[in-house]
């Protein structure tokens, strides 16, 4: 089993070594599984349980003071499931798998997604606040109240320009003390089993710091946060709205389908993304040769790879 994982594309982390250790553990955990679906789920669960990443425990806080998680999972035979906007669900990837395995649907959201996950044994009601996010929320000089329009007005006033600026990392007017340093620390995993020639991809996130309550980004959208096909599979991270608008993972896998190996496909996808959007993102891929690829145009993106290619 071949597995590659990422811990998000964004600014350079303050403590890269401990984060890398968690990523290495996640990749090894996934590579020890016997199916590609188990591999990406178990690898992602390791990352969701670490407060060093913006997924599961330690997820970003939305404008109403709630942490909501999203995830998506897909296999190369077009089986897919996603779940989003879930309070109290640490392992969003497992909720996404429930949607894929147990329902005729692709995406379930909100409280109903939480209830569905609980019905099939996924733990709910989890306290997703980490010490860091509690301190970050407490340090805000103000928090929005009232209607969604009032939340949007607060975001516009606080961050300047469009309310979307609160969700990015390049607002010129933004107070750096108000931005979560883990804004882009979405996590993901891609697996390839050379014995069965099967692929799977999964991506999980706690969203964006101070996003409008209920905001859902690219992560649970097929072809945006995650995608798998017979040619390979991909997971993305970064500026969520722009990733969704450009369907970044579908774009990356299309380059695999055109005959590029994983690294070249990743490079081309990020180059195109940057040209189209001017935003930052990262993507990881595996191809049918057992090759791993990763590319990003942000300051940093940590990854880990486990498993050996068939020729080794």
Tell me how far apart the alpha carbons of residues 293 and 94 are, in angstroms, rounded to a whole number. 25
Per-residue confidence band for 160, with pLDDT thresholds at 50, 70 and 90: low
Section 10-28 average pLDDT: 94
CB atoms within 10 A of CB 258: 11
92 membership: H or E segment, kind and range: helix 92-102
Q: Say what the pLDDT of residue 309 is.
A: 46
Q: Say what the pLDDT of residue 167 is.
A: 38
Section 44-57 average pLDDT: 95
Residues 274-311 have pLDDT tens digits of 999 999 999 999 999 999 999 999 999 999 999 954 43
Section 254-268 average pLDDT: 97
Confidence check: pLDDT of 184 > 60: no
Question: Which token pair is 305?
Answer: 């790879």
Give the total residue count for the chain. Answer: 312
Section 119-138 average pLDDT: 93
Section 81-105 average pLDDT: 98
Section 38-49 average pLDDT: 98
What's phi and psi for 190, nearest 5 deg? -130, 140
Q: Are 166 and 211 in contact (CB under 8 A)?
A: yes
Confidence check: pLDDT of 86 > 60: yes
Section 180-203 average pLDDT: 86
The sheet carrying 292-296 orders its strands as: 226-229, 232-238, 281-287, 292-296
The separation between the first and the last C-alpha atoms of the chain, rounded to the nearest angstrom, is 13
Q: Say what the pLDDT of residue 208 is.
A: 87
Q: Say what the pLDDT of residue 308 is.
A: 53
Residue 247 falls in the annotated catalytic set: no
Task: Considering the candidates 186, 205, 237, 246, report the single residue annotated as catalytic.
Answer: 186
Tell me how far apart the alpha carbons of residues 243 and 129 are, in angstroms, rounded to a whole number. 26
Per-residue confidence band for 1, with pLDDT thresholds at 50, 70 and 90: very high
Section 7-24 average pLDDT: 93
Q: Say what the pLDDT of residue 174 is.
A: 37
Per-residue confidence band for 154, with pLDDT thresholds at 50, 70 and 90: confident
């Amino acid at each position: 089993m071949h597995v590659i994982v990422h811990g998000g594309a964004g600014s350079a982390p303050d403590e890269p070594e401990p984060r890398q250790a968690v990523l290495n553990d996640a990749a090894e955990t996934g590579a020890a599984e016997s199916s590609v679906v188990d591999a990406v789920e178990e690898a992602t669960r390791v990352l969701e349980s670490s407060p060093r990443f913006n997924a599961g425990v330690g997820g970003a806080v939305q404008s109403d003071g709630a942490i909501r998680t999203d995830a998506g999972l897909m296999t190369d035979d077009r089986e897919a499931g996603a779940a989003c906007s879930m309070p109290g669900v640490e392992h969003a990837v497992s909720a996404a798998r429930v949607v894929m395995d147990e329902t005729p649907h692709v995406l379930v959201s909100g409280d109903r997604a939480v209830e569905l996950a609980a019905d099939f044994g996924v733990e709910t009601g989890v306290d997703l606040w980490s010490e860091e996010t509690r301190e970050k929320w407490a340090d805000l000089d103000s928090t929005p109240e009232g209607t969604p329009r009032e939340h949007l007005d607060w975001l516009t006033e606080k961050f300047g320009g469009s309310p979307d600026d609160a969700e990015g990392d390049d607002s010129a007017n933004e107070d750096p003390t108000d931005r979560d340093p883990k804004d882009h620390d979405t996590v993901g995993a891609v697996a390839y089993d050379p014995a069965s020639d099967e692929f799977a991809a999964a991506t999980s996130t706690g969203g964006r710091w101070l996003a409008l309550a209920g905001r859902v980004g690219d992560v649970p959208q097929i072809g945006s946060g995650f995608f798998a096909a017979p040619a390979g599979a991909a997971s993305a991270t970064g500026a969520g709205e722009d990733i969704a608008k450009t369907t970044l993972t579908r774009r990356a896998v299309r380059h695999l389908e055109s005959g590029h190996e994983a690294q070249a496909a990743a490079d081309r996808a990020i180059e195109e993304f940057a040209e189209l959007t001017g935003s930052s993102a990262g993507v990881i891929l595996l191809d049918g040769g057992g090759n791993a690829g990763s590319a990003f145009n942000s300051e940093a993106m940590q990854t880990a790879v486990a498993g050996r290619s068939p020729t080794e």
